[in-house]
């Protein structure tokens, strides 16, 4: 059996087009455009690429995109002051502080300083708490992307056994909360879990968010299961170039799985598309508009 590939690139493009159309509808109702501000601290090359792509895709969706670039030497107090100013700026619907932050900055304090209503990364404890309680919340983008991939691929989540490997606040925990909210029976594995292979064999859905290249082997996968590979591991490739490898051993897993995401081109493209969706949702809620109506 060879798994069907879940084309995250195409599904993300469809979502971005949908958001762009909804932005027009929001504009007609609210008389303004949603605005996203990304704060980039320092000059990490990978972060530069992400921020540039976020800016391009935000503008393509018809929203206002702003970037604030700050030196890597900035103090905690100065960065918190920037966040507070954005909290007070009515034209800003979404604030995203690009991670990782320099060592002198307490990332949790920065996340906690963001107005939860503008927390389009969904990492603020208020949003994480709401998600854990099954309430409406701004939800972390990659986990939201995973759920959309499952939905668009026709995967039956309710009643399924779902295994999430990884328990970070960015991916593992929120994707587990979303799967639970969608009525899956959820197991969360982490670095102390015993016999990951046995846990995998019971799973109808496997979400690998570990950061260990090719950790999950094809022989662990239950025949016909759906495998979402969140991992992005940059490895040395041919000709001195780097290549991206997932947390799943793709060649062996695709022989067993029913559906599988490739790396790249699977979960990755969904993240920015969901950031755009979250920005629109935040703009709607801040304007007293039901997002379902735009
Ligand atoms: P993270 O914060 O480093 O968390 C990794 C998790 O994996 C931890 O919970 C850790 O357990 C667990 N783990 C480590 N080794 C393990 C093992 N041998 N068996 C089982 N669990 C193990 O990473 P993250 O931020 O969640 O990201 C995970 C991966 O997704 C990375 O490759 C990252 O680059 C990628 N990612 C991709 C996107 C995207 O847009 N596609 C977005 C975000 C992240 P402990 O808690 O016990 O340490």
Q: Which range marks the domain in which residue 90 is found?
A: 31-115
pLDDT digits (tens, 9 = 90+) for 258-268: 999 999 999 99
Q: What is the mean pLDDT of residues 224-238?
A: 96
Q: Is 190 in the pocket of ligand 1 (CB under 6 A)?
A: yes
Structure tokens at 238: 């041919």
* C-alpha to C-alpha distances, 156 to 31, 99, 173, 204, nearest whole angstrom: 39, 33, 20, 9
**Can you give the pLDDT at residue 181?**
97
pLDDT digits (tens, 9 = 90+) for 42-84: 999 999 999 999 999 999 999 999 999 999 999 999 999 999 9
Q: Is 192 in the pocket of ligand 1 (CB under 6 A)?
A: yes
Helix/strand/coil for 227:
strand
Task: Pick the catalytic residue from 7, 57, 98, 259.
Answer: 98
**Can you give the pLDDT at residue 263?**
98
Is position 17 within any domain? no
**Is the pLDDT at 212 greater than 90, yes or no?**
yes
**Can you give the pLDDT at residue 119?**
98
How many domains does the chain contain in total?
2
**Can you give the pLDDT at residue 217?**
98
* Domain match, 94 and 147 both: no
Number of Cβ within a 10 Å radius of residue 247 = 26
CB neighbour burial string for 150-171, b if at least 16 within 10 angstroms, e if fewer = bebbebebeebbbbbbbbbebb
Whose alpha carbon is nearest atom 17 of ligand 1? 191
- Runs of H (alpha helix) within the chain: 8-30, 45-60, 76-88, 107-113, 125-132, 141-152, 172-181, 196-201, 250-253, 268-286
Is position 242 within any domain? yes
* Domain match, 211 and 265 both: yes
* Domain match, 242 and 170 both: yes
pLDDT digits (tens, 9 = 90+) for 70-122: 999 999 999 999 999 999 999 999 999 999 999 999 999 999 999 999 999 99
Whose alpha carbon is nearest atom 8 of ligand 1? 166
Q: What does the alpha-carbon distance between residue 211 and residue 195 come to, in Å, rounded to a whole number?
A: 18
Q: What does the alpha-carbon distance between residue 20 and residue 99 come to, in Å, rounded to a whole number?
A: 26
* Domain match, 207 and 110 both: no
Is position 126 within any domain? no
Q: What does the alpha-carbon distance between residue 289 and residue 277 come to, in Å, rounded to a whole number?
A: 14
* Domain match, 101 and 204 both: no
Is position 191 within any domain? yes
Residues in CB range of 92: below 8 A, 6 or more apart: 35, 36, 37, 66, 86, 118
* Domain match, 187 and 264 both: yes
pLDDT digits (tens, 9 = 90+) for 161-171: 999 999 999 99
**Can you give the pLDDT at residue 77?**
98
**Can you give the pLDDT at residue 172?**
98
* Domain match, 257 and 157 both: yes
**Can you give the pLDDT at residue 173?**
98
CA atoms within 13 A on the CB side of 70: 23
Is position 132 within any domain? no
Task: Tell me the pLDDT band of 277, cut-offs 50, 70 and 90.
Answer: very high
**Can you give the pLDDT at residue 144?**
98
DSSP states of 150-218: HHHTT---TT-EEEEE---TTTHHHHHHHHHHTT-EEEEE-TT-S-HHHHHHT-SEEEE-S--TT-B-G
- Would you say 254 and 288 are in contact if contact means Cβ atoms under 8 Å apart? no
Number of Cβ within a 10 Å radius of residue 258 = 18
pLDDT digits (tens, 9 = 90+) for 20-45: 999 999 999 999 999 999 999 999 99
Is position 294 within any domain? no
Whose alpha carbon is nearest atom 19 of ligand 1? 191
Q: Domain holding 262: CATH number?
A: 3.40.50.720
Task: Tell me the pLDDT band of 132, cut-offs 50, 70 and 90.
Answer: very high
**Can you give the pLDDT at residue 93?**
98
Mutate to test the pocket of ligand 1, among 171, 213, 261 (most ligand atoms within 8 A of CB): 171
Q: Domain holding 65: CATH number?
A: 3.40.50.10860
Structure tokens at 242: 């780097």
Is position 50 within any domain? yes
**Is the pLDDT at 1 greater than 90, yes or no?**
no
* Domain match, 244 and 153 both: yes
Mean pLDDT of the chain: 97
**Can you give the pLDDT at residue 222?**
98
Catalytic status, residue 98: yes
């Amino acid at each position: 059996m060879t798994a069907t590939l879940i084309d995250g690139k195409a599904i993300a493009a469809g979502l971005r087009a949908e958001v762009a159309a909804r932005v027009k509808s929001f504009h007609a109702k609210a008389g303004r455009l949603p605005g996203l501000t990304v704060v980039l601290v320092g000059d990490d090359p990978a972060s530069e690429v992400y921020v540039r792509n976020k800016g391009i895709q935000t503008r393509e969706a018809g929203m206002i995109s702003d970037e604030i670039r700050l030196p890597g030497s900035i103090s905690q107090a100065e960065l918190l002051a920037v966040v507070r100013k954005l909290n007070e700026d009515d034209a800003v619907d979404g604030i995203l502080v690009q991670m990782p932050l320099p060592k002198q900055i307490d990332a949790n304090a920065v996340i906690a300083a963001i107005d939860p209503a503008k927390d389009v990364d969904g990492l603020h404890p208020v949003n994480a708490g709401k998600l854990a309680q099954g309430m409406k919340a701004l939800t972390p983008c990659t986990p939201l992307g995973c759920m959309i991939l499952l939905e668009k691929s026709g995967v039956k989540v309710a009643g399924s056994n779902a295994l999430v490997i990884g328990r970070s606040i960015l991916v593992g925990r929120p994707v587990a909360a979303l799967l639970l909210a969608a009525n899956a029976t959820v197991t969360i594995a982490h670095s102390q879990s015993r016999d990951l292979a046995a846990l995998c064999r019971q799973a109808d859905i496997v979400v690998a968010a570990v950061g260990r290249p090719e950790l999950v082997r094809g022989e662990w996968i239950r025949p016909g299961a759906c495998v979402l590979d969140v991992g992005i591991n940059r490895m040395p490739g041919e000709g001195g170039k780097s290549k991206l490898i997932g947390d799943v051993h793709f060649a062996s897993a695709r022989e067993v799985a029913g559906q599988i995401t490739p790396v790249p081109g699977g979960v990755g493209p969904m993240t920015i598309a969901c950031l755009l969706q979250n920005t629109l949702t935040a703009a709607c809620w801040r304007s007293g508009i039901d997002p379902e109506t735009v």
